[in-house]
Amino acid sequence: MFIPIRLAIVLVILQTAIACNTAAVHSTVFTGETGLIRQKDGLKLLLANGLTDTTGGRMDLTNEQDTIGRYFKMDDSPDYICCIMDRFRKDAFEANWLLEISPAGRIVKKARFLHFNYPCCWKNAYEGFKRFGNYYGFIQCNTGSGYCASYVYLFKEITSQEEQARILLAYNFEGFESTEHLTSSIDIKNDTVTVSYQLRNEIPEALTDEIVEEKTRFEVQYRLAGKKWYAIDSSQMNWNPIADL
């Protein structure tokens, strides 16, 4: 395809500007093994690479000193992997960009991760990206009426959300006749994840003259096949009709 000389020059200038902006952020932000990303740097990185749009957005609700991301130095690589919350678009829930960035400031890989509605299971704009042993983990939130759940995507390198399979971590459900609370802990050995769950069910005092509480503990093992985690015994997941809402 023929590209006019003037257009080619403009494209080169734009690509150079993007590389310079990304490299500038890299040199001042990504140091050490791990750290946090302030909005002024994270937004600059997203804008320089065309990953967000602040036109008519919610900039009035934010502060450039807010923390909106976290990064880690990658194992066996000079690159950094980071997760930056994109909360700037108009009429859109928060999303997160996972980026692998080279020492030269070039984005090597990228993927946009979404929540089901807003991130109800995050206490801030960065805690949902963390290390689990040798894996990176992105915590996805699901929310509905009286319901908030958290799932984790575990990976060693960035791939799209659609290519992966999530693992249930926890949920809270508050209904008229009962409440359910699921918590868990994770143990990872090689390519096997063992999740120890505790499910607590409560019936309100108004319905029974006293609070009735039931607790159930169980484990589910997940094994990595390709890029997805699968329950070794899928029948163990039949206990929970709410978890996949």
Mind spelling out the 3-state secondary structure of the chain?
CCCCHHHHHHHHHHHHHHHHHHHHHHHHHCCCCEEEEEHHHHHHHHHHCCCCCCCCCCHHHCCCCCEEEEEEECCCCCCEEEEEEECCCCCCCCEEEEEEECCCCCEEEEEEEECECCCCCCCCCCCCEEEECCEEEEEEEEEECCEEEEEEEEECCCCCHHHCCCEEEEEEEECCCCEEEEEEEEEEECCEEEEEEEEEEEECHHHHCCCEEEEEEEEEEEEEECCEEEECCHHHHHHCCCCCC
User: Which pLDDT score is estimated for 197?
Assistant: 94
User: Which pLDDT score is estimated for 174?
Assistant: 86
User: Which pLDDT score is estimated for 64?
Assistant: 80
Question: Domain spans of the chain?
Answer: 1-127
For residues 51 and 42, the answer to whether their CB atoms sit within 8 Å is no
User: Which pLDDT score is estimated for 63?
Assistant: 80
Provide the angle, in degrees to the nearest 10, between the axes of the packed helices 39-48 and 5-29: 160
User: Which pLDDT score is estimated for 14?
Assistant: 42
CA distance 99 to 14: 20
User: Which pLDDT score is estimated for 61?
Assistant: 56
User: What's phi and psi for 207, nearest 5 deg?
Assistant: -95, -15
For residues 83 and 111, the answer to whether their CB atoms sit within 8 Å is no
> Per residue of the chain (245 residues), what is the pLDDT tens digit?
445 555 444 333 444 444 445 555 655 789 999 999 999 999 999 999 999 988 866 665 568 889 999 999 999 899 999 999 998 887 778 999 999 999 998 999 999 999 998 999 999 999 999 999 999 999 999 998 889 999 999 999 999 999 999 999 999 998 767 789 999 999 999 889 999 999 998 876 555 555 567 788 999 999 999 889 999 886 666 555 444 43
Amino acid (1-letter code) at residue 107: I
- Cα angle 208-210-211, degrees, rounded to a multiple of 5: 100
For residues 172 and 180, the answer to whether their CB atoms sit within 8 Å is yes
Q: Is 213 exposed, middle or buried (CB count within 10 Å of its CB: 0-12, 13-18, 19+)?
A: exposed
Amino acid (1-letter code) at residue 99: L
